[in-house]
């Protein structure tokens, strides 16, 4: 390591958990970040300053004024130009650390491009805003044998969990199997679900807001876990048989760490059934008349009155009856049915329709 790099990372090298050997490993590492919003910008900033060798950023969205409150890599000029987030982040990160190779890719991660975009990396980081993409990440990580870190934040609350395929529980284990208690299932136990991932089910940043400080805390935990994986022997990065889902609420100060064990019957990390990666579990999307897309969500029922109350502060003309709810987010009109089905008017782009669905209705 030359003297300039040694000086740049001197305080990090002094840390016993990294040292010069760990810094060398970090400088040769390859990381892919999916999603560059509040979580993604904060995590990317930390990793680039820490000296990862290469960072690929995948994001389909562009910078808007409402992003500036919490997405720390962007400024007013980015919003004024409506720059793609991946492009704006690449520019800013290269200015922060020119020694790091940063590649911004403006794309929507799909089953069709997942292998091309994710393979050949040492670590996958979650900066997404919906479970459709997270399940795709989980499938890809398990199939390719890549560690990844699930993270989510909404309101004042966030969660994160490190996944090492073949060693720890995966995201499917978390959602569909007994947790630390050994008998309760996160999917079917409302009390346990509320304490871990419930805010992501129907509440979103666009309906109940999000604090930048919450994103900062979770991104810091995600970055620290990622650096630990990258610099240390793999066997030391996580406990051998379990991982922990860590949650933190910056408003109340509540912190929890729930032990999550591998599910011996997990369809993903045990049986190798990669439904999301194979495109078999994605919500069915069909064209529906002129400039309309219909989304057929799987196994979901919606509380329309509750959803109406959540949407009223952020959408126009919100109204509902016993059968459907309708609201406008110009130039789009969205009609939602109690079984989770939705019609998005004003677009013929399935990716945009799914994005709007996740943005306002959650996962």
Tens digits of residue pLDDT in 109-130: 989 999 999 999 999 999 998 8
Q: What is the mean pLDDT of residues 235-243?
A: 53
Rounded mean pLDDT of 243-256?
94
Is the pLDDT at 162 greater than 70, yes or no? yes
| Model confidence, pTM | 0.81
pLDDT band, residue 282 (cuts 50/70/90): low
Looking at per-residue confidence, does 185 or 44 come out higher?
A: 44
pLDDT average, residue stretch 152-181: 85
- On the question of pLDDT at 199 being above 70, the answer is no
- Report the pLDDT value the prediction gives residue 6, as an integer from 0 to 100: 85
Q: Is 281 exposed, middle or buried (0-12, 13-18, 19+ CB in 10 A)?
A: middle
Q: What is the mean pLDDT of residues 135-156?
A: 96
Structure tokens at 347: 């677009």
Predicted pLDDT of residue 241 = 44
Q: Band the pLDDT of 63: cuts 50, 70, 90.
A: very high
Whether the pLDDT of residue 242 is over 60: the answer is: no
Mean pLDDT of 59-83: 92
Distance of CA 318 to the CA centre of its chain: 28
Across 78-88, average pLDDT: 93
- Confirm whether 170 is a catalytic residue: no
Residue pair 31/101 in contact by the 8 Å Cβ criterion: no
Q: Per-residue pLDDT for 179 more than 60?
A: no
> Is 104's pLDDT higher than 50?
yes
348 versus 30: the higher-pLDDT residue is: 30
Mean pLDDT across the chain:
86
Q: Supply 114's token pair.
A: 């997942």
Q: How far is 43 from 261, CA to CA, in rounded Å? A: 26
Mean pLDDT of 58-72: 92
Give dist(CA 40, CA 88) in Å, integer. Answer: 13
Residue spans of alpha helices (H) in the chain: 3-8, 10-14, 19-27, 38-50, 76-81, 85-96, 114-118, 131-144, 171-176, 190-194, 205-208, 212-231, 234-237, 304-311, 350-361
Over 60: is that where the pLDDT of 235 sits? no
* Cβ neighbours of residue 147 closer than 8 Å, sequence gap 6 or more: 122, 123, 124, 141, 162, 163, 164, 165, 229, 234, 237
Q: What percent of the chain has pLDDT over 70?
A: 87
Report yes or no: 57 and 40 within 8 Å, Cβ to Cβ: yes
Give the mean pLDDT of 87-91: 96
Ordered by where they begin, the domains of the chain are 3-261 (3.40.50.720), 284-361 (3.30.310.10)
* Active-site option among 36, 170, 205, 266: 205
Cβ atoms within 10 A of the Cβ of 250, count? 20
């Amino acid at each position: 390591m030359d003297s300039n790099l040694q000086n740049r990372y001197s305080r990090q090298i002094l840390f016993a958990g990294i040292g010069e050997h760990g810094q060398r490993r970090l400088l040769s590492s390859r990381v892919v970040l999916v999603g560059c919003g509040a979580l993604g910008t904060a995590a990317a900033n930390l990793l680039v300053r820490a000296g990862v060798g290469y960072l690929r950023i995948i994001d389909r969205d562009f910078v808007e004024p409402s992003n500036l409150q919490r997405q720390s890599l962007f400024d007013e000029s980015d919003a004024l130009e409506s720059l793609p987030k991946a492009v704006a982040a690449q520019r800013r990160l290269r200015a922060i650390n020119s020694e790091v190779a940063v590649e911004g890719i403006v794309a929507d991660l799909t089953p069709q491009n997942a292998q091309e975009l994710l393979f050949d990396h040492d670590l996958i980081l979650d900066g997404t805003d919906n479970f459709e993409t997270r399940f795709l990440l989980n499938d890809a990580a398990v199939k390719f044998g890549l560690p990844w870190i699930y993270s989510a934040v909404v309101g004042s609350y966030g969660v994160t969990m490190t996944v090492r395929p073949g060693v720890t529980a995966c995201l499917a284990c978390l959602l569909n199997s007994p947790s630390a208690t050994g008998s309760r299932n996160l999917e079917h136990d409302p009390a346990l679900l509320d304490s871990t991932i419930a805010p992501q089910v129907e509440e979103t940043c666009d309906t109940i807001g999000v604090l930048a400080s919450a994103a900062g805390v979770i991104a810091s935990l995600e970055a620290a876990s990622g650096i630990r994986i990258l610099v240390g022997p793999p066997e030391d990065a996580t406990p051998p048989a379990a991982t922990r889902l860590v949650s933190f609420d910056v408003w109340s100060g509540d912190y929890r760490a729930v032990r999550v064990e591998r599910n011996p019957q997990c369809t993903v990390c045990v049986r190798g059934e990669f439904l999301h990666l194979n495109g078999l579990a994605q919500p069915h999307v069909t064209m529906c008349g002129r400039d309309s897309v219909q989304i057929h969500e799987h196994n979901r029922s919606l509380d329309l009155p509750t959803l109406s109350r959540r949407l009223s502060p952020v959408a126009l003309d919100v109204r509902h009856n016993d059968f459907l709810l309708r609201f406008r987010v110009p130039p789009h009109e969205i009609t939602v049915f109690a079984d989770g089905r939705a019609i998005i008017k004003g677009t013929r782009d399935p990716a945009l329709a799914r994005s709007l669905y996740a943005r306002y209705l959650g996962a």
